[in-house]
Each structure stands twice: as structure tokens, then as C-alpha cells.
Amino acid sequence: MAGRRDHKRALIYSHDTFGLGHLRRCRAIAHALVEANPSLSVLILSGSPIIGSFDFRSRVDFVRVPGVIKLRNGEYLSLNLQIDITETLALRSSIIRHTADIFDPDILIVDKEPLGLRGEVRPALDLLRSRGTPLVLGLRDVMDDPSALESEWERKNAIPALSEYYDEIWVYGLPQICDPLAGLDLPAGVRRRMVYTGYLRRQALEPAPASEAAAPIDGDFILVTTGGGGDGEGLIDWVLAAYEHDPGGLLPALIVFGPFMLPERQAAFAARAAALAKVRTLTFDTRLEALIERARGVVAMGGYNTFCEILSFDKPGLIVPRIAPRLEQFIRASRAAELGLVAMLPDQYSRDPAMMAAALLQLTQQKRPSDVVVPGLLDGMRNVERLTAKWLDYERAGRLRIGARRNA
């Protein structure tokens, strides 16, 4: 039936339990794919509680599965429903499989987790594999410290899933910055199916008319963003302390808390900022790209999406990476700083205000990422479009033969 359709369909699974990283990456990919292919529709499966706050292009839509939240001890709870986590995961898995069955995609792109949250995608993978649907795993450039990732993926039985299901593994980065699966004992066939795309170039969107961030500051400013904000309190506290210590020659700062920062922490930070002539704050804006494009420089924790945006809009970047619960941000920032793409300020437990103030002053004198020549650095979207088009060219009869290559 799929072979006779005059349009194509892509299904994207977004692993969402905390923050905005997975959703924003999948949304950017979906938008690029429909822009490149006028006969393509993209459906995103996500558990993000705020996915409905974002705008989506024509021919892009989403199905939201019940949300879950990860506790500090590693356990999961249902986000809103008063039901057991086992029931929540069973409900999510059923929705994912049913959506895959009815939508009948010509390609499935799974973000980060080979089997989804606690294996919830496996039934959909089995179904689509039986139909010959191309199955792709998309990985960010850095996953975690190799030893930590090895332990995690062994527990999740993720490595066998790479051989069992996936036709290709797209790495949204470059090997000279990081091999996300370094240290893992991967079959040779899996290694052959890894494709480094380069980083995913982002485009600026005009602020919506009612956008909170439409015109927060006139003139030059430094943008401070924590992404989702759930773990960004340390960075914001340190930046505020720098302006409280000695605003001197610092440019004005716009601090974006993020939608997942606790309301009481937002209120406390906003009160401190209100006493500072050079600092403005806002909760969040779904079109953060427009703010990054306007900023003189960007201070961030170094999550994947913000890093891509710093590169895409060619902004001097100061990265203050977290080191727990993952080393992902620290590894990315360290490698990028070694190449000269950004500056890095390790998070000091003392958080010396003078040290941050000096780094903020230096930021405005810093080189731009484009001053460093890294071949293929921002070719990610173009390569994802090209790779997707390759798989979409397979008709159903041809795709039934793809599975044989997974075990090659």
C-alpha cells in the first residue's frame, strides 16, 4: 500500500523525560525534512509536557504520549497521571505501536535511545521491521563518558538492538569532536552503518507577535540560556553574582530561565535581577533562535541544541558545562574549546563572581566560530535530508529486502 502512495511519511520518536533537548532536535529535523521534500509529512512521537507550546510547520504534527519524570535516584514516575509507572509505560508503548501501525511510515527515526524508554519502542520496531520499513537511530555528538555509557547500555540491552533493528546510525556531529559510542564493543557491521552528518544548522524564526522575547533589550546584549532550566540554577546564580559584584564594562544581559526551572527559584532570581540595571529576565520563548541571532554573545551550559545554535548564528560562546548526572556537556565543551570554537569556564563550587565577570568581559572580544575552519561542521541538516531521501526512494517491495543488510 505504501508503494502506491503519492506522498511519503516519516515518523520520529523523541525520547523525552527531562528538558527540551530531544524535542527541539527532532522538531528542527522535521522542519528541515518537509522544507526539502514537498511530498513528505512528518509525525513526531513525544512525551514532552510542553510540546504543544511550539509552532510546527505545515505537514509536521505530533502525538503526545503520557509524560514521565526521572527522579534523582534514577527511578521514573508518571508526570501527571496517578497511575503506576509500569502502567504508564505500557500505555506509552501501546500508543507508539498503534501510531506506527496506522501512520505506516516510510522511515522511522529514533532519537538517542535504541529501544526507547525502558524498551517502549520495541513493539513498534518489530512491527515496522516486518514491513521492511527503514529504521534509523539518531545520536547526538556526545552521549556520556564511555565507561558510564557502557554500563548504561548494557543494562538497557541497547547494543544488541543496534544489530537487530537499525539500518543506519546517524551521528549529528563530527568524529574530530567525539565518537559517541567510543569504548563500546560494537560489532563491525554496526560500525559500518554509522554515518557522521555534521552538526545540525539552525535557522532563525521571527518572534511571534505576542512573544515574551519580542523586544526585551535594545542594543547589544549577552544572552544567558539554560535550555530547559531544570538544572540551570548554578549558571544563573553565578552570572547574577558577577553583575552584583561589578557590572563595570559588562554588556546588558538577558537571562532566560527555561520552562522547567522551579517557580520559586525563578522568582528568587527575578527579584535579584530586578535590582540590577543591566539584567533582564524572561521565563522562556519557544523561538529562542531569534534571540540568539540578536545577541552579541551567548552564555550556556552547552547542551547539543544551544551548541548548534552558537555555531549556526556564529556567536562567541561561553560554555559552563554541568558534570552530573552526565559528562556529556563537559566533553563537548572541552573538545570544542580545544578547537577554538567556544570558550569554556568549568563550574567552580566557589563560583567566584570576579572570575565570571572576567569571562563575560572576554566574551565580547572572543573570536567567532567561523574563524576556525572545520570542514563539514554545519552540514548536518543537508546530510540528514540527503540520507532520508535515499531511504524514501525504496518502495515497499524493495524495503522488504533491507532487513538482510542489518545482519551483514
Tell me, yes or no, whether 153 lies in a domain.
yes
Tell me, yes or no, whether 210 lies in a domain.
no
Q: Are residues 97 and 176 in the same domain?
A: yes
Q: Are residues 345 and 327 in the same domain?
A: yes
CA distance 37 to 167: 21
Tell me, yes or no, whether 113 lies in a domain.
yes
Q: What is the pLDDT of residue 288?
A: 87
Cα–Cα distances in angstroms (integers) from residue 184 to residues 149, 194, 334, in the given order: 8, 13, 21
Q: Global pTM? A: 0.91
Tell me, yes or no, whether 362 lies in a domain.
yes
Q: Which of 106-120, 201-215, 322-336 has the lowest mean pLDDT?
A: 201-215
DSSP annotation of 208: P
Percent pLDDT > 70 in the chain is 90
Q: Which helix (H) or strand (E) holds 40?
A: strand 40-46
Q: Are residues 112 and 41 in the same domain?
A: yes
Taking only the tens place, the pLDDT of each residue in 142-190 is 999 999 999 999 999 999 999 999 999 999 999 989 999 999 999 999 9
- The mean per-residue pLDDT over the stretch 338-343 comes to 96
Confidence of residue 4 (pLDDT cuts 50, 70, 90): low
Q: What is the pLDDT of residue 215?
A: 47
> What sign has the CA pseudo-torsion 209, 236, 301, 24?
negative
Q: Contact at 8 Å (CB) between 88 and 68?
A: yes
Q: Contact at 8 Å (CB) between 359 and 351?
A: no
Q: Which three cell numbers stand for residue 219?
A: 542594543
User: Which among 294, 214, 287, 203 has a CA at the least distance from the CA of 251?
Assistant: 294
Q: Which of 10-14, 213-217, 232-236, 392-396 has the lowest mean pLDDT?
A: 213-217
Does the pLDDT of residue 377 top 90, yes or no? yes
Tell me, yes or no, whether 207 lies in a domain.
no
- The mean per-residue pLDDT over the stretch 352-356 comes to 94
Tell me, yes or no, whether 209 lies in a domain.
no
- Across 151-294, the runs of DSSP E, i.e. the strands, are 168-172, 194-196, 222-225, 253-256, 279-282
Q: Are residues 124 and 98 in the same domain?
A: yes
Taking only the tens place, the pLDDT of each residue in 307-325 is 999 999 999 999 999 888 7
CA distance 398 to 106: 12
Give CA 334 to chain center in angstroms.
18
Taking only the tens place, the pLDDT of each residue in 38-57 is 999 999 999 998 898 899 99
Hey, what amino acid is at 405?
Answer: R
Q: Are residues 315 and 396 in the same domain?
A: no
Q: Are residues 19 and 152 in the same domain?
A: yes
- For the stretch 319-326, contacts whose Cβ atoms lie closer than 8 Å and that sit 24 or more positions apart, written own/partner, are 319/343, 319/344, 319/345, 320/234, 320/235, 320/238, 320/344, 320/345, 320/346, 320/347, 321/346, 321/347, 322/231, 322/234, 322/347, 323/347, 326/144, 326/145, 326/148
User: Which among 146, 133, 185, 130 has a CA at the least distance from the CA of 162?
Assistant: 185
Does the pLDDT of residue 206 top 80, yes or no? no
Q: What is the pLDDT of residue 404?
A: 47
What is the tally of structural domains in the chain?
A: 2
Supply angle C-alpha 67, 70, 75, rounded to 5.
120
Q: What is the pLDDT of residue 15?
A: 79
Tell me, yes or no, whether 211 lies in a domain.
no
Q: Are residues 20 and 131 in the same domain?
A: yes
Residue 31: CA atoms inside 13 Å, Cβ hemisphere, count? 16
* Domain of residue 402, residue span: 2-201+378-406
Q: Are residues 366 and 382 in the same domain?
A: no
- The mean per-residue pLDDT over the stretch 191-202 comes to 97
Tell me, yes or no, whether 214 lies in a domain.
no
Does the pLDDT of residue 213 top 70, yes or no? no
Give CA 245 to chain center in angstroms.
34
Q: Are residues 43 and 116 in the same domain?
A: yes
Q: What is the pLDDT of residue 210?
A: 47
Higher pLDDT, 216 or 375: 375
Q: Are residues 299 and 187 in the same domain?
A: no
CATH number at residue 343: 3.40.50.2000
Q: Are residues 348 and 289 in the same domain?
A: yes
Confidence of residue 79 (pLDDT cuts 50, 70, 90): confident
Q: Are residues 342 and 290 in the same domain?
A: yes
